[in-house]
Structure 1
Amino acid sequence: MLFDLDGTLWDSVDSICLSWNRVLGAHDPALAGTLTREKLIGCMGMLLPDIFRKLLPQLPPETLAAMEEELMEAENSWVAVHGGILYPGVEKTLGELSADYPLFIVSNCQAGYIEAFFQAHGLGQYFTDFENPGRTGKPKAENIALVVARNGLKHPLYIGDTQGDCNAATAAGVPFLHAAYGFGVIDHAVPAVHAFAEIPAAVRRLSPP
């Protein structure tokens, strides 16, 4: 099983907003408090450079490009210490799933963010491998395919919450399970769960004979 991170395993939106606003405010007091939960939720699943351009259109491209690394480093540092909000039943369910299946994370995040998630909540023990565009420079579909190939997976399943997750899984040739409790909606009927604890039963239904 390959998992998305934000909107699937946890909600770290408030931590991200706080860390970004601290950086923005240090550069320009007029930018303090620019980012809000509502604005960031509307961008979940996008690549980080696209999120920055959408949320901070008032900044010249060269200014924003110079700040991107600082914003990502501040986010990783804050999240590693303060964490986010795990969805109910995440650790218990991961323990159950990892006893029967290898687990992976493929997220559209920067390098170090998944490690920050592991550090904050101690869940790295449940995962075999992970990947992100911050390390590979590749989009999510290619990273899904990379993890599948690297680990010799025969019947992979990608679990995510946004249309982008669904599109990436489809492009990678991997079946998709919608985490409908997360941030996004899917524009067509797909298998779905409405709580993280429902995943084991859903996987059993979707598993090949």
Structure 2
Amino acid sequence: MRHYVEEEVTKKGIIFDLDGTLWDSSDSVTKSWNEAISTYENINYRMTVESMKGFMGKTIDEIADLFFAGLPKHVRKDIMDKCIRYEQEYIEKHGGFLFPGVLETLEQLSEEYRLYIVSNCQEGYIEAFMKYHKVEKYFDDFENAGRTGKTKGENIRLVVERNNLGNAAYVGDTQGDFNAARFAKIPFIHARYGFGEISEPVVFVERVCEIPIKIKDLT
């Protein structure tokens, strides 16, 4: 994490979603989840990369309710807990696919903006991302649903308030991200290269490297 000696009068921040915005970990997560699920002899569920991409951005409870809907709640929880443990270990060793231009763009943006991450992931996931790809130096703070139990919109607002951001925007790839930014009452940029679509006209980028250009019009 970055540290500053002096505080700016009005801090400008960019808050990023993670999956579908900065990286694609669906292959790594799918492999780790299937390995975890295979330890249950009487359960034949298997995740595909495509189905995993469809779940990106949802909370762990939402994924469990959708993918393991036919199983009792206590069984779903047990499976998900094991999937998360396997996922954490796998990602710490193998990481995920960084979208082209992420490192260069973070370097460029960090010269003018404070950078943050807010995701619906479990606790430890963002840390694994930052540690594997060595990007801790670019981010001031982060938050996730696993740690707070709050919605993404609430967590965005929490990060804005916690860091005294006078000016901030959110970058994400799904309708849920757009709705969260709207809830937090901050501008939104759609990462159109990611996993989702937005149901109404919105500022967008086709590549990560376009974010510095589009962000200037919003902050």
TM range, normalised to the smaller chain? Answer: over 0.9
- For residue 43 of structure 1, report the CA deviation from its aligned partner: 1.8
Q: 2:49 aligned with 1:24, yes or no?
A: no
* DSSP-derived class of the 2:197 partner: coil
For the pair 1:179 / 2:201, whether they are aligned, the reply is no
In 2, distance between residues paired with 1:75 and 1:65? 15
Displacement, 1:67? 2.2
1:100 positional shift = 0.8
Percent identity at matched positions? Answer: 47
2:100 is aligned with 1:92: no
Q: Which residue of 2 aligns with 1:12?
A: 25
Q: For 1:200 and 1:97, how far apart are their aligned partners in 2?
A: 6
The Cα RMSD (Å) is 1.2
**Amino acid in structure 1 at the alignment position of 2:74:** E
User: Structure 1, residues 10-45: CA drift from partner, whole Å, max 9, x if none?
Assistant: 00001000000000001127536x100111112221
**Among 63, 72, 77, the residue aligned to 1:51:** 63
Question: What letter is aligned with 1:126?
Answer: Y
2:129 counterpart (117, 122, 139): 117
TM-score normalised per structure 2: 0.91
* Structure 2 residue matching 1:158: 3-state secondary structure: strand
Query: Could you tell me which amino acid in structure 2 is paired with residue 161 of structure 1?
Result: D
Deviation at 1:59, TM superposition (A): 2.3
User: Does the aligned pair in 2 maintain the 1:76–1:112 contact within 8 Å?
Assistant: yes
Structure 2 Cα separation of the partners of residues 116 and 6 of structure 1: 13
Instruction: Please state which structure has a larger fraction of its residues in helix.
Output: 1
| Partner SS state of residue 157, structure 1 | strand
Distance 1:147 1:196 in 2: 22
Instruction: Report how many aligned residue pairs link the two structures.
Output: 206
Q: Tell me the amino acid that sits aligned with residue 162 of structure 1.
A: T
Contact 1:39 1:55 in 2 (8 A): no
- 2:192 matches 1:167: no
Q: How does 1:14-163 map to 2 (within 5 A)?
A: 14-28=27-41, 31=44, 34-163=46-175
CA contact (8 A) 1:87 1:196 kept: yes
Q: CA deviation at 1:2?
A: 0.1
Q: For the Cα contact (< 8 Å) 1:163–1:185, is it kept in 2?
A: yes
Partner amino acid for 2:120?
N
**Contact kept? 2:15, 2:170, Cα under 8 Å:** yes
- Deviation, structure 1 residue 6: 0.1
- The CA distance in 2 between the partners of 1:57 and 1:154, in whole Å, is 43
Residue 212 of structure 2 is aligned with which of 190, 200, 204? 200
Give, in whole Å, the separation in 1 of the partners of 2:35 and 2:149.
27
| 1:52 CA displacement | 1.7
TM-score, length basis structure 1: 0.95
* Contact in 2 for aligned 1:10/1:85 (Cα 8 Å): yes
Post-superposition Cα deviations, 1:136-164, rounded to whole Å, max 9, x if no partner, equal 11110100000000000011100000000
